[in-house]
Chain A
């Protein structure tokens, strides 16, 4: 992979909820991004599954409610950083 997981998560969130990638950080969540509503959350989960080629459980889906939680949950699927962020 030529991109670190963190960058790829930012890209996916940006594409799905429709905000500029520069405005996204680890604290981004439905609270800070109004367009990250329940409908786009479903899209986000499907987009993450496609991006990282993983199958996420309903519990993953319900807990991935911030960029940081997305990264944590993906790490449990062995999708981790290769360098310090």
Chain B
């Protein structure tokens, strides 16, 4: 059979390519010009061999590529007597993945500072330049270097474009560095792998008929895809992301049942099938980097699970990565309730991931407010199901989000201290709290509005004023104060807000009073009320009227005014009014109070 006939009969299937490649290799068609190609890579590209042979034959080239054992780059390039040079290459292809060159840039991106990122980029540059120059020193072969793809899942999810330094732009930067290297090393060129992947997708995307007939820039499948992704954004706009992901252990974050198979019997490793679970743990860790709290709810003997978290060499997640652990034989709905309580968040802020459909159904039936994620049977699809569930979609990632996780961890330490301290007052004293109070101004307005929007529990009136509404209130004479608190474990951030408006000649109405539950039970609220009372007094306010609007969630604040000496003046189902003459409020003496001018903090 002639080469032309052979290629003419080629079908786009693996078996057709394989048998065609075999024929080309066996026949050594005289019209093909041999070209020695060597391929170095950080992953397994050898399956490309038959396809490359066939496609090269169509261009008149006889290519029988040499594939170096994967992940042998420097070993092959820097030794003049290596297999690479033994193959007398005329072209050397270098294919590295960003995941292999700089794993942190893909999986731990959120935790990296700009200087960390810079360091990683410089290391990639050094390594690629070393490889290109290494080949050039020993051989005259043309060098083709693969550029980099964005990772499969962006560390910040939908919020990536909003990051000051987005992950996508960092990968792009790595590709520009590669371009620089290729410009300075003779006969070195970029193999634009990223573009090929994009074009392959674009081929499925466009339907020329729709464009020319009706100016529709996307085909039917692309319309579905676009709608699905846009719906995810709209969902993110419309609802609050979950704050905590509760995961199961057995067959969720590792394969098998640890109670039966034991520490060494479970599937968790660098090889199939353990690598599927290990990768899923990396996905969980990157969610945690984003500020999502992780909690574990597992029906097991506690020690069995702790052994894995603490001692299994391939266990990515450690006990310190979990904000709460519920490992016992009790039912999962109770575990979820306990986790919410421990973390001081509502159960509606929980998402639940469990491979067992019975557990999912149980939680769904007991706690309809929990986001129960539909877990596919195949663990290779766990990460995608989790990411695409939208449970943690944020269009924006604030530094507050990122530090939240640390704050909760410190909260855990605080609780330990609490259980060690004999009296509550002693405990509070040991915290060495410093509260700073300031007037709300332009700079702090967005954060204030955010707190108003998301605080549900210790929120006396649950009024969701926007930034501009708050500004108008201030312009009309209202007093708006913020409070932030630090303690020996660190900065809790801006945690409380009060807004009071002058009502008649000498009374002031507290329109808004709220506090993050992170600091509940530490009498921080008394500081803010006391400071509010002083500011009002300075402005001639002789009485304070506190309002309480009961909701499903704010019962925790129902005794706030009574415990501060207010009397109930009006008691409707939908509104209570509490009154107190403005004779001062006693401030707890274990919290040091500063005004913003003293500390230089503006919130």
Contacts and interface: CB of A to CB of B under 8 A. Distances in A.
A46 interface: yes
Contact of A12 (B15, B46, B50): B15
A11 to B, nearest CB: 7
A42 B48 CA distance: 11
A18 B24 CA distance: 13
B496 to A, nearest CB: 53
Contacts of A47: 13-15, 18
Contacts, number: 36
Given A39-B47, A43-B47, A16 B272 contact: no
A57 B47 contact: no
A10 B105 CA distance: 46
Given A39-B46, A43-B50, A58 B273 contact: yes
A27 interface: no
B378 A57 contact: yes
Contacts of A43: 14, 18, 47, 50
Contact of A51 (B13, B46, B378): B13
- Chain B contact residues, majority secondary structure: helix
Contacts of A12: 15
A85 to B, nearest CB: 21
A6 B272 CA distance: 30
A14 B13 CA distance: 14
Interface string B517-557: 00000000000000000000000000000000000000000
A18 B22 contact: yes
A39 B45 CA distance: 11
A51 B272 CA distance: 25
B16 interface: yes
B153 to A, nearest CB: 21
A15 interface: yes
B19 interface: yes
B51 to A, nearest CB: 10
A50 interface: yes
Among B13, B18, B46, B273, which residue has the most Cβ atoms of chain A within 10 A?
A: B18
A47 B50 CA distance: 13
Contacts of B13: 47, 50-51
Contacts of B16: 15
Nearest to B46: A39
Contacts of B46: 39
B381 to A, nearest CB: 11
A54 to B, nearest CB: 13
Interface in A48-85: 50-51, 57-58
Nearest to B380: A58
A42 B16 CA distance: 15
A57 B380 CA distance: 10
Contacts of A11: 15
Interface string B1-36: 000000000000111101100100000000000000
Interface string A24-52: 00000000000000010011001100110
Interface string B560-587: 0000000000000000000000000000
Nearest to B14: A47
Contacts of A14: 19
A15 B273 CA distance: 29
Interface string B41-71: 0000011001000000000000000000000
B443 to A, nearest CB: 54
Among B13, B16, B50, B273, which residue has the most Cβ atoms of chain A within 10 A?
A: B13
9 contacts: A11-B15, A15-B16, A16-B14, A18-B18, A42-B47, A43-B50, A46-B47, A47-B18, A57-B378
Given A43-B14, A51-B13, A58-B380, 6 more contacts: A11-B15, A15-B15, A18-B18, A39-B47, A43-B50, A47-B13
Top 10 A-B residue pairs of the complex, sorted by shortest distance between their CB atoms:
A15-B15, A47-B14, A15-B19, A47-B15, A50-B13, A46-B14, A12-B15, A16-B18, A18-B22, A50-B14
